[in-house]
């Protein structure tokens, strides 16, 4: 009850903020995967012209999102009345003060049915970007139609909807009621898209940005994996709709870099290439990351695959499906972390002919990978948050000066992981 009361008043202050500052445009980013990368890409492009505000983390819940929108720090102790008194003091000042902001970009998340719809009760975004509809929190959502209906709600209560055409199946169009709609992606069906001409690990993708408003824009985008281009194309769509010029967009594209733990390329020991995708894992993200690994030219490829959490009754099917994508002709080793991958993915990959080793925790998995890597190998590290923590695999394999690029390295997270890994010692 205490949290609900706090939430109610925070939402009222958000309403007051936009009523007092109608010139500030709100862009919300929803979707099963890719929200943070899309949010950051949008911010990078829009910053070439506009004053942009965003919360760098992923505060996207009903309690944390209002504070992120208002630019007020989320309290460490949410049970402390004293802490919330300080928060509300800062919130009131934020509503009254000059903004210094043209655009606010905010993630909104869906853990349960009704979550996105609730945001629509008090937010009136200028744009709603939906990144993907894929299995998520399936212990709460009955089926994929329920997921699609939930995530696409962000498009419906926004003035302008921008959706990822490649990662949202056409059959879900029945849940869209907003006719002011544009699409983005990397395939020909998307209105705002990227057409690849060349790729190198060092420079990323070279190619053409295609829009309805401008002639093709020649661009270089320093990311790895075709699916990593899609958040960037979402940002391009937003930038064009915000009136940015082709030259401003080109300049912004040069500045885009992967977010930590999200297809971030690091240099590892023995001149290895590490694709650090350890922040989270889902079926579409894991399969796309695996394809990106296959596209790298090297004599040894290793896939470290952690459990995909929150799949509910779909867990066996999705892990076996990912196991079927493990190609023995392209992978020297498949290394799994967690119970679900060991139970379902590992046997399927073995049946395909892959060499497989399974581990209960990321530290043991990292030690094994370090023992088998060869000069110049390419290693994909994919995993989820709760109980998987495959960033600790990356920590074992990368150079010490790159550990600041890993996810979940704050003192609070390190303490949480220390307690977790102590169970295996």
The predicted pLDDT at position 402 comes to 86
The rounded radius of gyration (Å) of the Cα atoms in the chain is: 22
What is the tens place of the pLDDT at every residue in 80-113? Answer: 889 999 999 999 999 998 789 999 999 999 999 9
Scored b (16 or more CB within 10 A) or e, 255-294 reads ebebbbbbbbbbebeeebbbbbbbbbbbbbbbbbbbebbb
Q: Is there a domain that residue 258 lies in?
A: no
What is the tens place of the pLDDT at every residue in 269-298? Answer: 999 999 999 999 999 999 999 999 999 999
The predicted pLDDT at position 15 comes to 97
Backbone angles phi, psi at 341, to 5 degrees: -70, -35
User: What CATH number does the domain containing 90 carry?
Assistant: 3.40.1190.10
Residues 6 or more apart whose Cβ sits within 8 Å of residue 100: 51
One domain for residues 32 and 68:
yes
401, two tokens: 């000066």
CA distances from 200 to 17, 204, 297, 343 (A): 45, 5, 10, 36
One domain for residues 399 and 296:
yes
User: What CATH number does the domain containing 402 carry?
Assistant: 3.90.190.20
Backbone angles phi, psi at 396, to 5 degrees: -70, -30
Q: CA dihedral defined by 29, 32, 36, 41, rounded to 10 degrees?
A: -60
Model confidence, pTM: 0.93
Q: Is there a domain that residue 207 lies in?
A: yes
Q: Are 153 and 117 in contact (CB under 8 A)?
A: yes
One domain for residues 185 and 313:
no
219 DSSP β-pair partners: 207
CA–CA gap between residue 218 and residue 206 (Å, rounded): 8
The predicted pLDDT at position 1 comes to 74
The predicted pLDDT at position 400 comes to 78
In the 8-state DSSP scheme, what is residue 393?
H
One domain for residues 186 and 287:
no
Q: Is there a domain that residue 56 lies in?
A: yes
The predicted pLDDT at position 425 comes to 77
Q: Is there a domain that residue 101 lies in?
A: yes
One domain for residues 289 and 417:
yes
What is the tens place of the pLDDT at every residue in 359-400? Answer: 999 999 999 999 999 999 999 999 998 899 999 999 999 987
Q: Is there a domain that residue 386 lies in?
A: yes
One domain for residues 282 and 239:
no
One domain for residues 227 and 335:
no
One domain for residues 235 and 166:
yes
End-to-end CA distance of the chain: 40
Strand order in the sheet with 264-268: 264-268, 272-277, 378-382, 301-306, 333-337, 356-359
Q: CA dihedral defined by 82, 85, 89, 91, rounded to 10 degrees?
A: 120
One domain for residues 348 and 375:
yes
Sequential DSSP letters for 231-244: HHHHHHHHHHHTT-
Q: Domain limits at 300?
A: 264-422
One domain for residues 271 and 409:
yes
Question: What sign results for the dihedral spanned by CA atoms 296, 131, 63, 103?
Answer: positive
Which among 217, 232, 253 is the end of a domain? 253
368, two tokens: 């094994």
Which among 234, 253, 272 is the end of a domain? 253
4, two tokens: 């609900």
One domain for residues 286 and 222:
no
Long-range contacts for 340-345 (Cβ within 8 Å, ≥24 apart)? 340/307, 340/308, 340/311, 340/315, 341/305, 341/306, 341/307, 343/316, 343/319, 344/315, 344/316, 344/319, 344/320, 345/305, 345/319, 345/320
Strand order in the sheet with 204-210: 52-54, 103-107, 25-30, 127-130, 160-164, 181-185, 192-200, 204-210, 217-221
One domain for residues 85 and 195:
yes
Based on the structure, what is the number of domains in the chain? 2
Q: Are 376 and 299 in contact (CB under 8 A)?
A: yes
Q: What is the mean pLDDT of each run of 10 residues along the chain (425 residues)?
A: 90 97 97 95 97 88 94 89 93 90 96 95 98 90 93 98 96 96 96 96 94 96 95 98 97 94 95 96 95 95 96 94 98 98 98 98 98 97 94 94 91 94 90
Q: Is there a domain that residue 40 lies in?
A: yes
Q: Is there a domain that residue 372 lies in?
A: yes
Which among 253, 284, 301 is the end of a domain? 253
The predicted pLDDT at position 79 comes to 84
Q: Is there a domain that residue 259 lies in?
A: no
């Amino acid at each position: 009850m205490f949290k609900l009361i706090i939430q109610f008043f925070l939402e009222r202050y958000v309403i007051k903020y936009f009523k007092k500052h109608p010139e500030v445009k709100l862009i919300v980013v929803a979707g099963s995967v890719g929200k943070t990368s899309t949010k950051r890409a949008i911010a990078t492009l829009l910053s070439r012209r506009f004053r942009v505000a965003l919360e760098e983390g992923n505060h996207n819940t009903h309690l944390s999102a209002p504070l992120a929108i208002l630019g007020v720090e989320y309290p460490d102790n949410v049970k402390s009345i004293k802490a919330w008194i300080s928060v509300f003091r800062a919130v009131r000042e934020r509503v009254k003060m000059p903004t210094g902001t043209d655009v606010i970009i905010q993630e909104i998340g869906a853990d349960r049915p009704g979550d996105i719809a609730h945001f629509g009760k008090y937010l009136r975004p200028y744009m709603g970007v939906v990144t993907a509809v894929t299995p998520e929190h399936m212990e709460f959502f009955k089926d994929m139609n329920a997921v699609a209906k939930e995530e696409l709600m962000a498009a419906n209560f926004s003035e302008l909807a921008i959706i990822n055409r490649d990662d949202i199946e056409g059959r879900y169009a029945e849940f869209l009621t907003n006719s002011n709609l544009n699409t983005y992606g990397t395939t020909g069906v998307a209105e705002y898209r990227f057409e690849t001409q060349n790729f190198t690990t060092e420079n990323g993708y070279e190619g053409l940005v295609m829009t309805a408003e401008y002639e093709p824009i020649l661009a270089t985008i320093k990311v790895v994996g075709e699916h990593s281009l899609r958040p960037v194309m979402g940002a391009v769509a937003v930038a064009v709709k915000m009136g940015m010029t082709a030259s401003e967009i080109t300049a912004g594209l040069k500045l885009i870099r992967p977010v930590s733990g999200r297809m971030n390329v690091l240099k590892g020991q023995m001149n290895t290439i590490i694709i650090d995708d350890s922040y989270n894992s889902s079926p579409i993200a894991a399969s796309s990351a695996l394809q990106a690994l296959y596209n790298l030219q090297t004599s040894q490829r290793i896939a470290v695959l952690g459990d995909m959490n929150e799949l509910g009754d779909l867990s066996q099917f999705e892990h076996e499906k990912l196991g079927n994508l493990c190609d023995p002709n392209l992978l020297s080793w498949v290394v799994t972390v967690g119970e679900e991958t060991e139970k379902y993915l590992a046997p399927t990959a073995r049946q395909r002919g892959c060499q497989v080793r399974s581990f209960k925790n990321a530290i043991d998995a990292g030690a094994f990978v370090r023992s088998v890597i060869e000069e110049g190998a390419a290693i994909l590290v994919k995993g989820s948050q709760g109980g998987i923590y495959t960033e600790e695999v990356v920590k074992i394999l990368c150079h010490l000066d790159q550990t600041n690029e890993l996810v979940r390295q704050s003192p609070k997270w390190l303490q949480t992981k220390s307690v977790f890994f102590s169970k295996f010692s």
